[in-house]
Amino acid sequence: MDSLKEDREDVKLLTAWVSPYGMRAMIGLAEKGIKYEYVEQNLRDKSPLLLQMNPIHKKVPVLIHNGNPISESLIVLQYIDNVWNSPHTAFLPSHPYDRAIALFWADFADKKVCFPGLETFRTKGEVQEAAKCEFLQNLAILEGELKGKNYFGGDRFGLVDIALTPFTSWFHAFESLGRFKIHLEEKFPNIWAWKKRCLERDSVKKTLPNPEKVLVTATEIRKRRLGEI
């Protein structure tokens, strides 16, 4: 039955290896055991397929399921969870209130931690300083939220964990290019332990790139953005 199901499914992922948002989709698909075609995108020269599949944002990731495109990584994750749903691999809790809370934290992580995190390496001056403050302050909120828990939702690896773990592979780039220290182990011990726990999962282990490699690409992105090359 399972192989029949796989034969009927046509799943493609348009992404870029360094994209933490794309990594979310990769971890989600791996957690569900879905086979898919990985289609690397050059974000400096966008393919006609990417522009056709995500004409509004023109960003990766885009999941293409049986020809139908789904974009925006948190929406992609919810789609994956809904389509390949099983009680053992659910990314979201079943109770409506618990679901709402998980979505709240995924949204918080997205807007208040991931975005300012990215701003720490690709901006300069006051904007960069403000991004560093915002990132560290909001990381502290997540540190509190993780207290006494293995994962953000409790004992199960779920949506918030998938949304956040990819960004930990960027922390080294944030620190080096932002010229600041996160002091994860000392100041954020719950997040430190959580990160190690997430990295033990096959889905995460095989998805997250080497932080040194991320730094090389992040350095190029910064130079291009700030007009330094």
Instruction: Report the interface residues with ligand GS8, using CB under 6 A.
Output: 16, 19, 21, 43, 58-61, 72-74
Nearest residue to the partner ligand GS8, using Cβ: 59
CB of 85 to ligand GS8, least distance (A): 21
DSSP secondary structure code for residue 109 in this structure = I
State the DSSP code for 209: P
Q: Which one, 29 or 192, has the nearer CB to ligand GS8?
A: 29
**Structure token digits, residue 96:** 């409506």
- Which residue, 18 or 204, is less far from ligand GS8 as judged by CB? 18
Nearer to ligand GS8, 104 or 183 (CB): 104
Q: Nearest CA to 165 among 203, 137, 131?
A: 203
- Cβ at position 185, least distance to ligand GS8 in Å: 26
Do residues 151 and 157 touch, judged by C-beta distance below 8 A?
yes
**Minimum distance from residue 219 beta carbon to ligand GS8 (Å):** 15
User: Coil, helix or strand for 154?
Assistant: strand
Q: Which of 72, 76, 90 is nearest to 32 (CA)?
A: 90
Shortest distance, position 81 Cβ to ligand GS8, whole Å:
15
Cβ closer to ligand GS8: 206 or 224? 224
Number of other CB atoms surrounding residue 222 within 10 Å = 18
C-alpha distance across the termini of the chain, in Å: 54
